[in-house]
Amino acid sequence: MRLLPRDEKFFDLFTSVAALSVEAAKLQLDLLRADMARRGPIVDAIKRLEHAADQVTHEVVTRLDRVFITPLDREDIHLLASRLDDVVDLIDGTAHRVQMYQAGEAPQGAVLLGDVVFRGTQELLVAVQSLEKNKDQSVLEACARVKRLEEEGDSLYHEWVARLFDGTPDPLLVIKWKEIYDTLEKTLDHMEDAGNVLESISIKHA
Q: What is the pLDDT of residues 35-58, one digit of tens each?
A: 999 999 999 999 999 999 999 999
Would you call 104 helix, strand, or coil by DSSP?
A: coil
13 to 41, 69, 157, 195: CA distances (angstroms): 27, 16, 32, 17
12 to 56, 98, 111, 144, 198: CA distances (angstroms): 10, 32, 31, 23, 15
Q: Is the per-residue pLDDT at 79 higher than 50?
A: yes
32 to 37, 112, 113, 127, 167: CA distances (angstroms): 12, 9, 10, 26, 23
What rounded mean pLDDT belongs to the chain?
92
Judging by beta carbons within 10 Å of its beta carbon (0-12, 13-18, 19+), is residue 81 exposed, middle or buried? buried
pLDDT (mean) for 156-178: 95
Over residues 12-29, the pLDDT tens digits come to: 999 999 999 999 999 999
pLDDT band for position 133 (50/70/90)?
confident
pLDDT (mean) for 173-188: 97
pLDDT (mean) for 46-71: 89
Q: What's the fold here for domain 8-204? A: Methane Monooxygenase Hydroxylase; Chain G, domain 1 (1.20.58)
Measure the CA–CA gap between 107 and 87, rounded to whole angstroms: 22
pLDDT (mean) for 52-78: 86
- Report whether 143 contacts 120 (CB < 8 A): no
Would you call 17 helix, strand, or coil by DSSP?
A: helix
pLDDT band for position 206 (50/70/90)?
low
List the domain boundaries for the chain. 8-204
What is the reported pLDDT for 132?
79
Measure the CA–CA gap between 155 and 28, rounded to whole angstroms: 20
What is the reported pLDDT for 1?
40
Would you call 40 helix, strand, or coil by DSSP?
A: helix
What is the reported pLDDT for 4?
46
